[in-house]
Amino acid sequence: MKKTFVILLAAIFTCSCSSAVQNPGLIADGPGKVLRLWYDEPAPDSDAGWENRSIPMGNGYMGVNVFGGTATERIQITENSLYSSTEGSGFRRGGLNNFAEVYLDFGHNNTSNYERDLNLNEGVSHVKYEHDGVAYSREYFTSYPDKVMAIRLSASKAGALSFTLRPTIPFLGSGKSGTVVAKGDTITLAGVMSYFNIQFEGQFKVIPSGGTMKAANNTISVSDADSTVILIAVGTNYQFDPKVFLTEKNAEKLAGFPHPHAKVSGYLADAAAKPYEKLLANHKADYTELYDRVNLDLGAAEPAMTTDELVDAYPAGPSSRYLEVLAFQFGRYMLICSSRNGTLPPNLQGIWNVYKDPPWASQYLHDTNLQMAYAPVFSTNMPELFDCYVRYFNAYVPLQEVHATQYIKQFNPSQVDPDGDNGWAGPFWSNPYTVPGRSIVAGFGTGSWIAQMFWDYYDYTRDKSLLAEKLYPVMYEQANFVSRFVQDIDGALLAKPSSSPEQKLRDTVGTTFDQQMFYENHHNTLTAANILGRSDSRLATYKTQLPLLDPIQIGKSGQIKEFRQEEYYCDASKALDPAHRHNSMLLGLYPGQLINNTTPAWLDAAKVCLTKRTHKSGIGWSRAEKISMWARVHDGEEAYSYYKELLGGNYMHNLFNDHRGGQLFQADANYGATAGVAEMFLQSQDQVVAPLTAIPAAWSDGSYRGLLARGNFEVSAQWTNGHASRLEVLSKSGGTLELRYPNVAKAVIKTSTGQKADFTAKGSDQVRIETAKGQTYVVTDIPVCIPVTAPSNLMIVKDVKNQIELSWTGSADAASYNLYRAVGNAPAYERIASDIAGTNFVYKAPNLEQIDQMTLKVTAVRADGRQSYEGATVIRLLP
């Protein structure tokens, strides 16, 4: 049955994309390869239609939303530097502006056989229909290498194509002026947004085959053509220059930068000099080189229903696996569209905005949203897309150095360097023109969180020159700021003031958000310095400070505290929301590395927080974040449940994420969901490559290719009935590979050329291989590991005089039980008893009455010696 299906699909969908060349025998793309969004009607011509139904495209230089109309086609263009004032207050207060509304008037009212789609494999969109006996088709793409959008319009009958191109400038007046002028084969749309004195220009070139063309005022009409190509280029006088941020007067920020006319004319002239087919080939080569690095196959065929039906039918729909894969790749697609080197990074709406007053001004929020946009960039194997942010960062960081000195003077004056060597301070929000001063909504941990992405860039690519030139200095100078900012309070070095993002207890001391982020960056900076052999002057200070940053405190509910003053979960203030969308006390779990397999007691505490946060928050990005966080505590079912809630509750018909269930597009959850799914398939936060870490029962069979792990290992996997039948690891930089998978040490491990690979086993579930750069290691014949069911319901029955009487509900798998404890904030457990035969135990020790708090944990041990991965835990507080 499956075979027929594969052959059938192969016959129907012949994909022309250039798949990466693969070694024979390695995991190849499965039948789920063709991924597209498709619809049988145009998107409604309204804001709601834009958010819910239009097809997004982009090349970093511009974002585009295509509606697919037949009487009139509407193409809305976004350019990420076109900003107005954000001075007002509230949710909608200016910010990113809509660049252009472009119309193509066809007057085709009675159409049949309508279809439009977005093919994710190629990054190309189509509209097709019949009208008056003629089959019309349009093909759209946005090209990064050629910096243009190209549209090819065709008709099945010679001379049947007639239309009028009509670009317009939306929201003229109130600080925006401009004109649209058609001349010859080109329409030029140009103007000024006065607040930042932004000069903008878009050009539209019409290249018909056959027929006639006529420019009049602000339109170009094509009559009786066989086909036509339209090329679009846009730009502003924005440049990446620290001067933009350091200049205080808004209207002077861009002073001296050239008008975009020459640049835009150049883009268009260069593109027009190439045949359409060449432009298309350039685009496909550029796009597929990134997109094709990762494939995911969960065994789903392209369903017969349209994408809106598919979304509406989810999660009960028959083809939900298809949507799950589609949405995963859609997040990668969106990142390719919105984060290219030399262009502005993705903002809250990525690179897609139809409004004059977009939600939250389409800013860069660094207390979760911006980091989430980049969450899949390394794990889904597109690390160079982060260069986009690096360039933006380098433009704004000189202002943040000025701010750093101000903050140290203000908050810890004894530590200020009089010459201004105080590092850089993390922004809360920013835009292409400014980083405002401190906000009490989030602590300075935002900076270390940003620096963490720079560390990850190295850790996933292992590019030492990149580390030395672009990454280490960022981390080092962030640590510089932190090292001067923290204050010695009761023997720990704490942030003061400190806020846990968006929570309503502000300007407190040493929130876990700040402490964890500071800790991670100090740690990463020291590691990087070690790798590079650096001996910079402040490294010794960072080393002394590191153990005093106190990143994890365990509370009386067994939780990781969010606030130092917290005792039981979320009791630090009545104003706090126990189901708050931000999970800031868990950033060391994800996307950080602090809480991992080597810190099992902290993993258990993280699980307490995740459980107590509940499923209540319906915010898209929060659900996305919880996919990753639950995956990191190895719970595939919980992770999957959040993916399902997101797809079923927040994804609109065009797969844009609806932020909070009322049609409000925010791009972060799209990127974040992709990152979350990647975490389910592959993890490496403890520098151990662990494939298939959290796959749910619903994904019992499948394969993926090309996910990236720390160490620059490219990982592929194939599994059946939840069990890996084949793992492949391509070592892209050489070095030691630690690989973890149940029973991997009993498997056959060979190189892709069939030689036996040498490895050292660490127990049955982990192996170490000294890899050769460029070699692929193939793991097969992995004996099936049946997990041991854990005991549950651990209880303290009696606790007197240094004797704790425990009982628990047994596991059918158990031959015996082990008992562990983690005292206070300890990251790991110590074993206090083993070979326990029954389901109760009296733990006696002379000093138990001196221990304020500990977590007790019981696990099951099977006759074959395998221990349950999970256990039952209980918090023991002094009676």
Q: Give contact residues for ligand FUC (rule: CB under 6 A).
A: 348, 360, 365, 369, 502, 581-582, 619, 621, 666
Helix axes 620-632, 636-649, angle to 10 degrees: 170
Residue 217 to residue 273: CA distance in whole angstroms: 26
Closest CB to ligand FUC among 581 and 821?
581
Q: How far apart are CA 505 and CA 508, in angstroms?
A: 7
C-alpha atoms less than 13 angstroms from C-alpha of 689 in its C-beta half-sphere: 29
Q: What letter would DSSP give residue 827?
A: S
Q: How far is the CB of 581 from ligand FUC (least distance, A)?
A: 5
Closest distance to ligand FUC from the beta carbon of 517 (Å): 16
CB-nearer residue toward ligand FUC: 610 or 682: 610
CB-nearer residue toward ligand FUC: 365 or 435: 365
Are the beta carbons of 549 and 522 closer than 8 angstroms? yes
Question: Tokens representing 700?
Answer: 């019992």
Q: CB of residue 454 vs ligand FUC: minimum separation in angstroms?
A: 22
Q: Judged by CB, which is closer to ligand FUC: 31, or 672? A: 672
Query: Which residue, 348 or 675, is less far from ligand FUC as judged by CB?
Result: 348
Residues 6 or more apart in contact with residue 505 via CB below 8 angstroms? 499, 563, 572, 573, 575, 576
Closest approach of ligand FUC to the CB of residue 395, in Å: 22
User: In terms of CB distance, is 365 or 605 closer to ligand FUC?
Assistant: 365
Give the Cα-Cα-Cα angle 96, 99, 450 (nearest 5 degrees).
35
Distance CA 103, CA 112 (A): 21
Q: Which is nearer to ligand FUC, 57 or 365 (CB)?
A: 365
* Shortest Å distance, C-beta 304 to ligand FUC: 36
Percentages helix, strand, coil for the chain (3-state, rounded to 5) are: 30, 30, 40
CB of 507 to ligand FUC, least distance (A): 17
Closest to 660 measured CA to CA, from 621, 613, 624, 610: 621
Minimum CB distance to ligand FUC smaller for 641 or for 666: 666
**Residue 612 C-beta: closest distance to ligand FUC, Å:** 19
Among 788, 662, 671, CA closest to 91 = 662
- Residue 349: CB minimum distance to ligand FUC, A: 10
Greatest distance between any 2 Cα atoms in the chain = 98
Alpha-carbon gap, residue 537 to 29, rounded angstroms: 50
Nearest by Cα to 338 from 118, 664, 330, 357: 330
Residues in CB range of 733: below 8 A, 6 or more apart: 461, 462, 711, 712, 773
Question: What gap in Å lies between CA 400 and CA 392, rounded to an integer?
Answer: 13
CB-wise, 97 or 369, nearer to ligand FUC? Answer: 369
The whole-angstrom separation of Cα 710 and Cα 125 is 34
Residues 6+ apart with CB under 8 A from 356: 84, 94, 97, 98, 170, 171
The gap from C-alpha 791 to its chain's centroid, in whole angstroms, comes to 36
Least distance from ligand FUC to the Cβ atom of residue 580, Å: 9
Give 384 or 502: the residue with its C-beta nearer to ligand FUC.
Answer: 502
> Residues in the chain, how many?
879
Backbone Cα Rg of the chain: 29
* Sole residue written with tokens 């472009």: 102
Distance CA 362, CA 347 (A): 6
* Closest distance to ligand FUC from the beta carbon of 622 (Å): 7
Q: Which two tokens stand for residue 593?
A: 């590395």
- The residue among 253 and 506 lying less far from ligand FUC, judged by its C-beta, is 506
- Confirm if 148 and 165 have CB atoms less than 8 A apart: no
Sheet strands side by side (includes 713-720) = 295-297, 702-709, 713-720, 723-731, 776-780, 748-751
**Shortest Cβ distance from residue 707 to ligand FUC (Å)?**
27
Nearer CB in complex with ligand FUC: 477/658: 658
Minimal distance in Å, beta carbon 659 to ligand FUC?
A: 6
Q: What's the rounded Cα separation, in Å, for the pair 432 and 102?
A: 25
Residue 367 CB, shortest distance to ligand FUC, in Å, is 6
- Residue closer to ligand FUC, measured from CB, 512 or 666: 666
Determine the Cα–Cα distance for residues 575 and 563; give it in Å rounded to an integer: 13
Residue 398 or 618: the one with the smaller Cβ distance to ligand FUC is: 618
Of the candidates 699, 580, 704, the one whose C-alpha atom is nearest the C-alpha of residue 641 is 699
Nearer to ligand FUC, 369 or 431 (CB): 369
**Burial call 62-79: b when 16+ CB within 10 Å, e when fewer:** bbbbbbbbbebbbbbbbb
Element (H, E) at 111: strand 111-119
d(CA 60, CA 65): 14
**Residue in the block written with tokens 């252009």:** 100
Nearer CB in complex with ligand FUC: 232/351:
351
Least CB distance to ligand FUC at residue 51 (A): 16
Nearer to ligand FUC, 666 or 868 (CB): 666
Considering the complex, what minimum distance in angstroms separates the CB of residue 379 from ligand FUC? Answer: 22
Encode burial over 622-636: b for 16+ CB neighbours within 10 A, e otherwise: bbbbbbbbbbbbbbb
Which is nearer to ligand FUC, 423 or 672 (by Cβ)? 672
Return the axis-axis angle of helices 320-338 and 636-649, rounded to nearest 10°. 80
